Amino acid sequence: MANDYDFNYELDSILSEFSDDSPSASSIESRLPETPDPAPSAPSETPAEPAFTPDGDPITHFADKYRRQETEKKKKAAPVRRILPPKAAAPDKTKKAPRKPEKEQDVTRIMPVKNPRTDETKRLPNEKFSAGNLYEAPPAKKIDREAEKEKRNAHKQELKEARAARKAEKQQRKEEKRLLREERPPRVKLADVVPPWLVRIVGMLFTMVLCLFVLCYVSPASGSAAASKTVARSADLSSSVNKFATEKARDAAIAASALQEQIVEQIAASQKTVFKIPEDAVVAPEPLLSGFGKVSTANASEILPVIQQARDSGLLGADEVVVFDPDVEFNTGSYYQDIQYYIDNTLLVICWKEIINGNTCTFCEVKMQDASQFRRKLAGDMFGSDILEYTTSMHKATNAVVSVNADYYRFRDMGIVAYNRQLYRFNEGDYLMRYGQMLKKYNCIDTMFVNGSGDFLFFHMGEESSPEAMQQFIDENDIVFSVAFGPVLVEDWELNTSYFDEEWYPIGEINTGYSRAGIGQVSELHYLYMSLNHSDEKAARWHTREFAEHFFEKGVKNAYSLDGGQTSEIVFQGNEAYNHVDHVNGTSSRQVSDMLYFASAVNGEEVTE
């Protein structure tokens, strides 16, 4: 059937549908030159396009060709995609990397180790030396065992001596306490009131009466004659006893009358006249100008008559010890000052400058008659005032004999402030955590209270209280005023080293060389002020521990640290500071908010005790 079908006619009709101008298939074939069959070529990478044959379907042929062309265009237009290799898995951090094997070390070539402290060469544990090595072995170090033994024995001896010194010091303090207890007035005994001979007379009378009773009523009568003789002897003996008793009774009455007069005189002598200063007085009585005086340090022993005058007036006790010693080393440098003093029946003041370990220390010893003479002055005469004044100005305004610095309470808000028996500052705000305890502003430092008897009472760091409890403490202990700086240096004749061992205290730079100031109580109404100030020696200042130790050596019962540096100042009589304070910006002193002072009461209120 294939031979009967006219393919040429069909081809011409199909081509005529696409283009009327196209030649027919038969004409095309007639025009094509005859070419020999091509030789077989090597196979191509891309498949050859199938040739059109008359036996095939032309529509299918051209459709397949069109699709192949479109596919090739798309391939050429599409970007080339890079095929990346697959990512490696992330390492597991939980697994430890295997430890690299260490290289074997050639111990024969190890360099000896040099000790930087002893400048000696030390051989490593596995080090080997030979003649061919670059380094030679150091000689073995010889240990002098005898020297080491001597060092240990010397150290033990030092510890032993230190313990013995502490023990002796403790024994000395106990002895001082015993002596102070012995200074107390003795108790009145029966033997002091009734003479011993009167007691013996009464005993003899009682014995004689007892003998008479035995002779008259107990002894049996041996007959009428013997009885009459016994009665006669008894009558004579009774008459003699009565006469003797009458005479002795008269003598006893005379002695008792004389003893009574003596007791009355002693009581009258004990009722001495005391002068007081009212607590609310802003200005103290004026001191006696004739009471001021000074002595050269070359003739320091001339102060001894002044001290004896205080004993004769009853201001100083007959056996009361004074701190001033005319045999100490006095300051004779460029800041030289004479030994100055004041004396009347109510007050004794001695000021001097002493050299201790190459440093100039200023001392002021005070003995007064009544506790009202120890006072505190606030600038503006009221708590919280913004007024600041020089110590010399406040000293002159109060008629003080001697004035010293206090705590500069307006500079900080720590500690407890009591003034004129009232609580003014009790800050309960948090300060810092220490040893698991939150310290408050009121108990982060030591506070010193002064009561109506002039004695020191201490409120220590870390003690708990409240405003109500503190006001009750002030009322019950007759507190007049307080000072808030610290720390406590000496308490009950014991050196306080708690803060120095810990090397910490909030204020005062206790571990820095600094100018220091402090006040101590020697005995009842007997005080000692001490300051370490600027001197021409320009020696290093003391830490608080050194200052406390030297204060303790002066024999004080209690001592408390005050504000030091430029604030520490002693003003005596005139308008100039007796001690030489630190210079700051060309000035010799600074304005402060408060001071402590001692005043004379010789022109004050007279009170009989």
Tell me the pLDDT tens digit for each residue of 165-184. Answer: 888 988 888 888 888 777 76
- Distance between CA atoms of 322 and 304, rounded to whole angstroms? 10
pLDDT-above-70 percentage for the chain? 67
pLDDT at 24 > cutoff 50: no
Q: What tokens appear for 103 in the block?
A: 């290289």
For residue 187, what pLDDT band results from cuts at 50, 70 and 90?
A: low
- Distance between CA atoms of 6 and 24, rounded to whole angstroms? 14
- Distance between CA atoms of 402 and 287, rounded to whole angstroms? 11
According to DSSP, the residues that pair with 351 across neighbouring strands are: 340, 364
- Distance between CA atoms of 597 and 376, rounded to whole angstroms? 6
For residue 11, what pLDDT band results from cuts at 50, 70 and 90?
A: low
pLDDT at 390 > cutoff 50: yes
Helix spans in 271-318 (H): 304-312
Which uninterrupted H or E stretch holds 500? Answer: helix 498-502
Task: Supply the mean pLDDT for the chain.
Answer: 77
Residue 431 sits at φ, ψ, to 5 deg, of -115, -65
pLDDT at 145 > cutoff 50: yes
- Distance between CA atoms of 13 and 203, rounded to whole angstroms? 186
Do residues 238 and 246 touch, judged by C-beta distance below 8 A? no
Tell me the pLDDT tens digit for each residue of 191-248. Answer: 666 677 777 787 788 888 877 777 765 544 444 445 555 556 666 666 776 777 777 7
Q: What tokens appear for 541 in the block?
A: 């200042």
Q: Is 593 helix (H, G, I), strand (E, B) or coil?
A: coil
- Distance between CA atoms of 576 and 334, rounded to whole angstroms? 16
Helix spans in 271-359 (H): 304-312
DSSP state of 521: E
- Distance between CA atoms of 71 and 132, rounded to whole angstroms? 83
Q: What tokens appear for 253 in the block?
A: 């009455």
Do residues 572 and 578 touch, judged by C-beta distance below 8 A? yes
Selection from 384, 381, 302 nearest residue 343 by Cα: 302
Q: What is the rounded average pLDDT of the residues 482-491?
A: 94
